[in-house]
Structure formats: structure tokens, C-alpha cells
Structure 1
Amino acid sequence: MDKVKIPIKKIENPNKRQVCYSKRKMGIFKKASELSIMCGAEIAIIVFSPAGKAFTFGSPDINFMVDKYQNFPVYINDKKVDKSWISEQEYNFILRELDAEKKHT
């Protein structure tokens, strides 16, 4: 029996959209966990809900992964590139969202 192909478009019904978001969020976190366990990959995922709330997954830890990313040098054509594209304000916002999520869990 073949799966029914669902077209990729915005779900207009807010209740159905929330249910779909919740299921898919858990699905992507599960896949990330499996990838981390099976392959030893270090993974960080930050997902913002339609309401603007941040949800995170990190293996080994989301804070470790964010710090590692922020301190990782970027090279393009053998030249080190400045990563100032993420502003200090955006970075602090993400950290506040992570702290708020930790308090709720």
C-alpha cells in the first residue's frame, strides 16, 4: 500500500497546523537523536513555533553546540571570514529563549 503524497503548502486551519507542527518537530528531534547515536554526529537544532517559542535539541548539549559554532573559524577560498552576520542582540535573544525553555522543562 502506497503512502498518500501530501502537498507541501501552508496549512490554513490553525488547529491542524499546530498538530502537524508538534508531530513534525518531535519527528525531526527523533531523527537528529538517531543520527547522533548511530554516527556520533554532534547536532544542534533550534525550532521556533508559530507562536514564537523556541524549542531546542542538542547532542551532546545545545549550549555546547552553540558555543562551538560561535567559536568555529570559517574559511572561504583559504581566507578566514568574519562571522559577524549574527548580531550580539540576536545571539543574546537566542540565549534568553534557551534559558526560558530550560525553566519550563
Structure 2
Amino acid sequence: MVKGKIAIRKINCSKSRQVTFFKRRTGLMKKARELSILCDAEIGVIIFSCTGKLYEYASTSMSSVIERYNKMKRDNQQQSITTEEIQFLKKEAESLMQQLRCVQECNRRLMGEELSKLSLEDLKNLENVLEMGLKNVRSRKDQSFMEEMRELKRKVEEVEQENVELRKKSRVGSRDHRESKGEFSGESSSSKDTSKIGAHAILFKDEMPERILLQLSLQPKSHLLDAQKTASG
């Protein structure tokens, strides 16, 4: 007689549920033990009943089984992450290579190369792009030229300001020099005058005796003339 299949769903009757749990738990533990013996496999089984009771089986020890499980799980995760990263990097590299080829092709066209495959519309678009680029280059060149002109003007103004300051300092220095020179010349002229006066005084002192002698020698002659005049009268 063929045994009928049981529908896999929750058993509502608590008594039947407990009986089924006991039978299948025992069978599961038996199968796990047989598998570990026959195939030399490391097996660990952990079961929590609906009432919260723990049942476990380990071919070696439950802690070593759990530790090995965690290690293998970490390794698998790292391997999967590495594989995903490799796939992502490959796709990124392919995308970058495609962009590089497009940029190189556009550059060659801008340089006037490989234009035979372009249509009339593409050539017009390329011409518009070149005209726009040339306009931007000229605008930037004019802007740079104006900036250089402003910079040169600023430097010229700075140099002129420095020249003005130097002229002021030169005028002040020359005026001070003239004043100091004038004082020195005044002192020298006064000393020269004093020396001249002293020389005249010395000469006058030396000539005084001769003048006195001349006056003394002339006095008797004048008395004789007066006497002659009175006698004739």
C-alpha cells in the first residue's frame, strides 16, 4: 500500500504538532549522524522548538562548526565583493575607452582629418563649432591684451609717482646744500674783511712816525714866511 503524501503546512493541532516534531527531529538527527560518518563531513544541526527548547547535534563540536561557518561566510562575502568590484572596474574601463575613442575622433576632425566619412550636415555642424571656438579664442585674446595693458599702465603710474618723490627729495637736498654753502661763504668773507682791516691798521700804525716827522720839519719854514711878510709890511 502506497503511503499518501502529507501537505507541507503548519499543523494546527498542538498534540499532533508535537508528535510530528519529535519524529522528524529524531530522523533529522539520525540522517545527520549517518551523513557525517559515511561522508566524513563536519555537520552541525541546531533546532529550536516552538516552545523555545534547544536541540543540537555536531559531528565534532558546535563551537568549531560555528567558527568555521563564520569564516567561510566572510571569505565568500569578500570573494563576492571582489568579483563585483572586478566586474564594475571592467565596465568602467570599457566606458572610458569608448569615451577616449570618441574624443580622439573629434580631435582629429577638428584638426581637419578623417572628414571623408562626414555628411554635409556634419560638416556644417563642424564648421559652426570651429567658428564658435575661434570666436571664443579671439575674445579671450582681447581680454588678455586688455589685462596686460592695464597692468602696464599701473606700472607706469607707479614709476611716475616714484619719480615725483625722487624730484621732491632732490629739491630738498639741493636747497639744504645751498643754505649750508651760503653760511660757509659768509663766514669766510667776514674773516677776510677782518683780516683786511687788521692789515690797514698795521700799515697805518707803521706810517704814523713818518707823518709826524714831516709835520715837524714843515713848521719852522712857515714861521719864517710869516716873519718876512710882517717885515716888508
The answer to whether TM tops 0.5 is yes
| Per-residue deviation, 1:61 | 1.6
Larger helix share, 1 or 2:
2
Between 1 and 2, higher relative CO (CA 8 Å, sep ≥ 6) is seen in 1
RMSD: 1.8
Over 3 Å counting, the alpha-carbon distance change for 1:65 and 1:25 in structure 2 is same
User: What CA distance in whole angstroms lies between the structure 1 residues aligned with 2:38 and 2:54?
Assistant: 26
Which residue number corresponds to residue 53 of structure 2? 53
| Per-residue deviation, 1:78 | 4.6
TM-score (norm 1): 0.68
| Per-residue deviation, 1:54 | 1.6
| Per-residue deviation, 1:77 | 6.1
Which residue number corresponds to residue 36 of structure 2? 36
| Per-residue deviation, 1:71 | 2.5
| Per-residue deviation, 1:9 | 1.2
Which residue number corresponds to residue 88 of structure 1? none
User: What CA distance in whole angstroms lies between the structure 1 residues aligned with 2:82 and 2:33?
Assistant: 33
Letter in 2 for 1:47: I
1:17 counterpart = 2:21: no
User: What CA distance in whole angstroms lies between the structure 2 residues aligned with 1:78 and 1:24?
Assistant: 41
Per-residue Cα deviation, 1:34-83 (whole angstroms, up to 9, x for no partner): 1100001111111110011221111122121012112332232655xxxx
Runs of 4+ more than 3 Å apart: none
User: What CA distance in whole angstroms lies between the structure 1 residues aligned with 2:31 and 2:60?
Assistant: 15
| Per-residue deviation, 1:14 | 0.6
Letter in 1 for 2:45: I
Secondary structure of the 1:56 match is strand
User: What CA distance in whole angstroms lies between the structure 1 residues aligned with 2:5 and 2:71?
Assistant: 42
Q: Which runs of 5+ in 1 are unaligned?
A: 80-105
Larger strand share, 1 or 2:
1
1:63 counterpart = 2:67: no
User: What CA distance in whole angstroms lies between the structure 2 residues aligned with 1:5 and 1:68?
Assistant: 37
What's the % identity of the aligned pairs? 39
Q: Number of paired residues?
A: 80
TM-score (norm 2): 0.32
User: What CA distance in whole angstroms lies between the structure 2 residues aligned with 1:39 and 1:71?
Assistant: 22
- Residue 76 of structure 1: which of 73, 80, 86 is its match? 80
Over 3 Å counting, the alpha-carbon distance change for 1:56 and 1:4 in structure 2 is same
